[in-house]
Chains A and B, each alone.
Chain A
C-alpha cells in the first residue's frame, strides 16, 4: 500500500505536472489553429513555423540585451503583425476562389517551406538555448518542481482564460463568432468582416508565438522545432473538433496527460502512434470531433 502511495507521489504526480506545463503550450497552439479554422476555414500548415518564429523572436530580443519578460511581452505583438500581413498579403488573395480549402492549405504550406529556410538563413540550423528566466525550484508536498514550469502553467492558464473571455464575453468576440456563423449576414450588420478575418489570423499566429516563447527555455530552439509539435496540435484540434475552443482546451490537456502518463510504461517512441490511434478512434466514433464549430455551438 505504502509503495503504491509513494509511486503515486514520486512518479506519477511529477509526470502529470510536467505534462500539464507542456499541455498548456499545446492548448495555446491548438487554440490558434482552431480559431483560424473556425472563422476562416483555413488549415494553417505554417502554424508550427510561426511557433518556431515566436521562439526565435524571443532569442533575438534577448540578444538585444532585453530581459525575458520583454520578450514575452513583445513577441505576441510582433507575431500578430506578421500574421496580419500574411493574411492580407497572401491568404486573402486565394480566399474567394471556389476551392479555398485546398488552396489556402497549399498556400500556408508554401509559406511554411519558405519560413523554415528563412530561419535557417538568419539563425543557422544549430539548436540555440535560452537561459531559464526563473531558475531554481519549489518544494511542494515533498516534491521538487522547477519554478519555470510552474510559471508556464500559470501563464498559459491565464492566456487560455483570457482567450475564452475575449471570444465569449466581449463585443469583439461576438463579432468574430458572428462572422464565423454567417459572414454575409454579419457584414450587412456592420461587422468589418475582412478586418475581423485578418485580425483573427493575426491573433492565432500570436498565440503560436506565445507558445514558442514559453517553451523556448524548456526545449532548445531550432528551425524545425515546430514540426513535431504541430502534429500534436493538429491531433488535438481534430479530436476536439475543428473550430471548437472548448474542444481544443479539453482535448489538449487530456492528450498531453495521456502522453506523459503513458511514457511511464512504454517507450516515448510510441507516443505519436498512440496519439494517432486515439485520433483515429475518435474520428470513427465522431467524424466531426468531440465538439462543434466556432459560432455554431
Chain B
C-alpha cells in the first residue's frame, strides 16, 4: 500500500487541507441546496456520506492494517437491520437505536474478527467475503426479517428536538456531523500508540512480536473498530430511506466500498470520503442515461488500479504538499 504518512509534522499538511475542503464543501452544498429548495441531491449526498462511512471502515483495515475486507457490507447491513428493527418494533429513538447498533456490531465484529483475523493476506480477503456471503444468504432466506423484501416502513425519528430524519437538510447535517466525528476519531486514534502499532503491522507483521506486542490483538481491535464504524453508518441508512433490504449486505456493496477507497486514495482516510461522493454522484449521473453504469465504474476502477494505484487524494496530496512546503524550504535556504 502507498505510504499514507504524507503529512509532514511541521507546517501545513496537505491531507488537512483536503479534510477542510471536504467538510467546508459539504456545508456550502447544504446552503446551496437549502437556497435552491432541492431535496433529491440532498438525499443523494446523504447517501454518499453514509457509504463514505462504510468506505472509511474499509480504509481503516486496508490502508492502515493492510487487510483487504471483501465483506465489510456485512456490518453495514447488520447496522441497518438492527437500527431498522429497533426503530420499527421497539422505540423510535435515534440514540437508543444507535447505541444498540453499536453494541451489536461490536459483538459481531468480535466474533467475525476471531474467525477472520486468523487468516492472513488473501485468505483474510476470501474469509471476509465468505462470511458476508453466508450471512446475507441467511438474512435473504429468513422470513422473520422480511426475506428478500427486507423491512419496509421504518418511521422517521427525531435526532435532537427540531431535527427529524425526514427533513432532508437536517438529516444531511446530522449525517455530516456523525461522519465527521468518525473521521476525526479515527484520525486521532491513528496518532495514538495503537495507531502506530497498526502501521507497524501493515509494514511488517513478523517484526511486531519482537517489539513485545501481539499483532493479533491490535488487528482484532482494528477489525472491531471497523465493524462499529460500518455499523453506525449502516444504522443511518434506514433513517434516510425508510427501508432496509438484504442487498445492503451483498457483495455489490462491499465491492463498491472497496472501489470508493481505491479511487479516493487508500490509507488517506479522507480519500475514501471523496471517492464515495464522487462515485455515488457518477453512478447517479450515468445511471440516468443507462442501466449499465457498473461498466463505467468498473472501467474507471481498473484504470485507477493500473495507472494511479494511490488514488485521487493519494496522488494529489504529495503534489499539494510540495506546494505547501515551498515557502519553508526557501526560507531554509536563505
Contacts and interface: CB of A to CB of B under 8 A. Distances in A.
Interface of A: 37, 43, 90, 93-94, 97, 99, 101-103, 105-107, 109-114, 116-118, 120-121, 227, 231, 234-235, 238, 242, 269, 272-273, 276, 279-280, 283-284, 287
A147 to B, nearest CB: 32
Interface string B253-272: 00100110010000000000
A121 B292 contact: yes
B123 A287 contact: yes
A6 B259 CA distance: 54
A156 to B, nearest CB: 24
Contacts of B298: 110-114, 117
Nearest to B115: A280
7 contacts: A106-B258, A106-B301, A113-B294, A113-B297, A117-B295, A269-B141, A283-B123
B299 A43 contact: no
Contact of A105 (B125, B141, B259): B125
Interface centre among B123, B251, B302 (most CB of A within 10 A): B302
B299 A114 contact: yes
Secondary structure dominating the interface of A = helix
Contacts of B119: 283, 287
Contacts of A90: 302, 306
Given A111-B302, A114-B295, A99 B130 contact: no
Contact of B305 (A110, A242, A269): A110
Given A280-B127, A287-B119, A269 B294 contact: no
Contacts of A37: 122
Nearest to B137: A272
Given A113-B301, A114-B302, A279-B130, A102 B1 contact: yes
Q: Which 4 A-B pairs have the closest CB atoms?
A: A113-B298, A114-B298, A117-B295, A110-B302
Contacts of A106: 68, 258, 262, 301, 305
A279 B126 CA distance: 11
Contact of B130 (A93, A110, A120, A231): A231
B115 A273 contact: no
Q: How large is the interface on B (under 10, 10 to 19, 20 to 34, 35 or more residues)?
A: 35 or more
A235 B131 CA distance: 11
Contacts of B295: 113-114, 117-118, 121
A293 to B, nearest CB: 12
Contacts, number: 101
Interface string B119-135: 11111011101110110
Secondary structure dominating the interface of B = helix
B61 to A, nearest CB: 12
B306 A93 contact: yes
B114 to A, nearest CB: 10
Given A110-B305, A284-B118, A287-B123, A276 B258 contact: no
A84 B299 CA distance: 19
Nearest to B293: A117
Contacts of A276: 130-131, 133-134
Contacts of A283: 118-119, 123, 127
B122 A105 contact: yes
Nearest to A289: B123
A235 B258 contact: no
Nearest to A42: B122
B231 interface: no
Nearest to B142: A269
A88 B295 CA distance: 21
A103 B133 CA distance: 22
A117 B294 contact: yes
B309 interface: yes
A237 to B, nearest CB: 8
A284 B306 CA distance: 35
A118 B134 CA distance: 27
Nearest to B121: A101
